[in-house]
Amino acid sequence: MLDLSSNFLSGEIPPTFSKLIRLEILNISHNHLSGRIPGSFSSLISLVSSDFSYNYLTGPIPVGITFQNALASPFVGNPGLCGNASGVIPCKRSTKKNNSVLFLVIGLVCGLLVLATTTFIILMLCHYKFKVVNVESNRSHQNDSTPESLIWEGEGKFTFGEIVEATEDFDDKYRIGKGGFGTVYKAILSSGRVLAVKRLDISDTSDQIPELSQISFQNEIRTLTEVRHRNIIKLHAFCSRKGSMYLVYQYAKRGSLAKVLYGSNRGAEDLDWDLRVRIAEGLAAAISYLHHDCSPPIVHRDVSLNNVLLDWDFVPKLSDFGTARLLSPDSSNWTGLAGSYGYMAPELAYTMRVTEKCDVYSFGVVALEIMMGRHPGEFLESLSDNRELLLKDVLDQRLLPPSGKLSAAVVLVVSIALACTRTAPESRPTMRYVAQELFTRSGAFLLEPLMTASIDTLDIPNKPGQDINCDLNH
């Protein structure tokens, strides 16, 4: 028997589990596992019971009596799974063509295409997982003296020329945002695919940005495109052109959390207490992944309300996680671009050194802002003089106070946020601990009820030693 349920596990299921030939019961439910259930699990002939429910698994259920005849309950909470199990959607099957002549024609055409492109592709990709595409624009950019370069991830093909055409050469009418790192444009390609393109104008920055070689850029982009997490915006590609850098991201339909939270009263109503708790939980999971599950670890440097994007179903997506690495990948010191005003850790004023604890502080500010419905700057500055202030009076007054288990979750979020905004960096918890506490909510029952809790009673003690590595892949 192997029971790993509710352990905040992430990553893919190790295929080596299939070597447990005497395993009879397997339970890995209620985690953050992703990817496919390994097909080699079909060889587990002694397996009589399994539970993969409430993860982020995708793809077909393995063949075999144990899996194909199972009820739906072992697979619920994984909308990407398919197969013959009861209650699970069938997998789509491609139609088989029996016409041998048609197969021959298709084979010949594919063979010619492969032969024409194999030499070029092998030379460019022999040491890389991603495609490096060199494009020289002769139509709309004849004055460029250097070729455009793009690094693509393997999920889709599109050219920089398509992006230029979709945005009419980055016309202002396609601009959807502007921040400290650059301007963001919305690009709808002819295929219907929607992308967010961030243009970084180096000449506009006050700091001297070091000139990196093409190889260094490729290494950085390859590292960032490998970052895959449900709550992190996907970085698809990079391009340099006319002294500017372009980052191509996944598009989030609802825009930034700041836009939704402050856009209108309707926005506040859309973000009910349950969604706010889930957004804080997802954001914590994303930062924890960057700090503890990436190699080398990635410090975001600019966690703020504007850099948290919302998908159509309000799933939070942390953005701009790679911009700082691209602009200065070998430096832990950051002066002009260390974060957004109001979210920066206080120690940056005298150390000028960016660490994981700076992200922890910024997360605490964002979490408080989500719960308060306003920036907590004045609240944090006067915290020492308002320790008896009741929590219910601090929360967003546009919503009715939460009740039941939800109120306990809100109290927990505020408590952890206060711990994250402690002045001394060493007294702040790690993001792994924060994410695990928010996910399990194991400490919620230890806190005072919402209606009587004061700020003084919410200052949870520091708990070193509870930061446990729960990643299956490490």
CB atoms within 10 A of CB 1: 8
> Residue 420 is inside which H or E element, if any?
helix 404-420
What is d(CA 68, CA 49) in angstroms, rounded to the nearest whole number? Answer: 12
Contact between residue 308 and residue 256 where contact means Cβ atoms under 8 Å apart: yes
Q: Which two tokens stand for residue 346?
A: 């206080």
Known binder of ligand: residue 198?
yes
Catalytic residue among 51, 171, 207, 302: 302
What is d(CA 29, CA 6) in angstroms, rounded to the nearest whole number? Answer: 6
Contacts 24+ apart (CB under 8 A), 122-128: 128/218, 128/222
Assign residue 185 a region: left if phi > 0, alpha if psi is -120 to 50, beta otherwise? beta
Helix/strand/coil (H/E/C) assignment for every residue in 236-255: EEEEEECCEEEEEEECCCCC
438 by Cβ neighbours in 10 Å (0-12 / 13-18 / 19+) ranks as: buried
What is d(CA 442, CA 375) in angstroms, rounded to the nearest whole number? Answer: 28
**Residues ≥6 apart with Cβ < 8 Å to 165:** 190
Is 51 one of the annotated active-site residues of the chain? Answer: no
> Residue 26 is inside which H or E element, if any?
strand 25-27
CB atoms within 10 A of CB 243: 9
* Longest Cα separation, the chain: 84
What is d(CA 85, CA 427) in angstroms, rounded to the nearest whole number? Answer: 49
CA-based Rg of the chain, rounded to a whole angstrom?
A: 25
Q: What single-letter DSSP state applies at residue 461?
A: P
Cα pseudo-dihedral 351, 376, 255, 436, rounded to 10: 70
In sequence order, what E strands does 55-155 have? 56-60, 80-82, 131-135, 148-152
Looking only at the bridges linking them, the beta strands covering 148-152 and 244-250 are unpaired
Q: Which residues make up each annotated binding site?
A: 198
Which positions are catalytic? 302
Going by the annotation, the residues of the binding site for ATP are: 198
